[in-house]
Amino acid sequence: MTSVKQKIPYIIAPDPFNTRLTRTVSGIDQNGAVQEIKVVEERPLTIFLNKQEIVTAMTIGDHPEYLAVGYLRNQGMLLQDDKITVIDYDEEVETVIVRTVRATNYEDKLKKKTRTSGCAVGTVFGDMMEGLEALTLPQSEVRTSWLYALAHTINTTPSLYLEAGAIHGSVLCRQDQPLVYMEDVGRHNAVDKIAGWMQLEDATAADKILYTTGRLTSEMVIKTALMGIPVLASRSGFTAWGAEIARQVGLTLIGRMRGQRLICLSGESRLVWDADPFTAKVGTTRRGGSGR
């Protein structure tokens, strides 16, 4: 009897019909006709670490606890072994407070912000690169058959992108299975939500692939590497600094995954070419109502 591989369902998937995340607005099209379309919401979320205000991020408003923890983790303010005592989210004042056993004070660090190219004004801190110096990423493998399967599944999953557009997605995957799919107005927010989920669920990183719909920038490469994930893939393109940092830390960086095409600019030693690109089944990305 031939066994059939059981597909793993999403642990967290987009919720494109959550009325809190979009609203309907009226406009005039190219013919002068009135059109009603769905657009994504933007809300401020202020993140505190203990008694200190850290940042106010513009976000769609879902998974605020994961976003707060992931942001603090990716900025090096929340350590891997920090014990979180409580996460308080107040929807009315749009604030998340992450409380830890360890006393924290990041006044000096907050003065070293660097604005990034991310949507909705991403920021990193000037000493983030220091965390990469001693970093060694695991020597996993990534099969091209997995990449094609992931592209097909992710591109055909119901999402806010397909419903309203103007949004980015990041997906935590294992082999050919997408596990956690987060969306937000900025790709940095989407990946921070995944980092927060991994921190709170104590998820391993060595066997994971991070798939993003956005550009492969320096910030995306740094965050992926600091999360301990060895492979970063996207249907979009690269920045030169992103590719350079990926090579420095040994991250496998794969972009321009459209149709049967892809290109790897770093970490090609992990690639296993086990699929015929001419016969691979891939998903066609349908554009959402507002575009990207």
Is 205 a member of any domain? yes
Q: At a CB cut-off of 8 Å and minimum separation 6, what does 18 contact?
A: 62
Overall number of domains in the chain = 1
Helices (H) then strands (E): counts for the chain: 7, 16
CA distance 290 to 292: 7
- Whose CA is closest to 171, among 163, 82, 156? 156
Contact predicate 266/234, CB 8 Å? no
d(CA 230, CA 106): 29
Q: Which amino acid is at 161?
A: Y
pLDDT tens-digit series, residues 118-155: 444 455 555 566 678 888 999 999 999 999 999 999 99
Q: According to the model, what pLDDT value does residue 23 have?
A: 94
Amino acid at 251: L
Can you tell me the distance from the alpha carbon of 229 to that of 253, in angstroms, rounded to the nearest whole number?
11
149: CATH: 3.40.140.10
The tokens 């690169």 sit on which residue?
A: 129
DSSP letters of 111-142? Answer: TTEEE-S-TTT-EEETTGGGGGTT-------E
* Structural domain includes residue 74: no
pLDDT confidence of residue 289:
42
Domain membership of residue 210 (yes or no) is yes
- For residue 98, tell me if it sits in a domain: no
Which residue type is seen at 194?
A: I
Q: Which residues of 12-46 are buried (b: 16+ CB within 10 A; e: fewer)?
A: bbbebeeeebbeeeeeeeeeeeeeebbbbbebebb
- Above 90 in pLDDT, residue 281? no
Residue 15 lies in a domain: no
Show the CA angle centred on residue 113, arms to residues 112 and 114, nearest 5°.
Answer: 120
- Quick: pLDDT tens for 67-121: 999 999 998 899 989 999 999 999 999 999 999 999 999 987 787 664 444 444 4
> What pLDDT shows up at residue 115?
46
Cα angle 250, 184, 114 (rounded to 5 degrees) comes to 55
Residue 35 within any structural domain of the chain: no
Token digits of residue 16: 């494109």
With cut-offs at 50, 70 and 90, classify the pLDDT of residue 4: very low
Q: Has residue 282 been placed in a domain? A: no
151: containing domain: 142-272
Structural domain includes residue 43:
no
As a whole number of angstroms, the distance between CA 251 and CA 231 comes to: 6
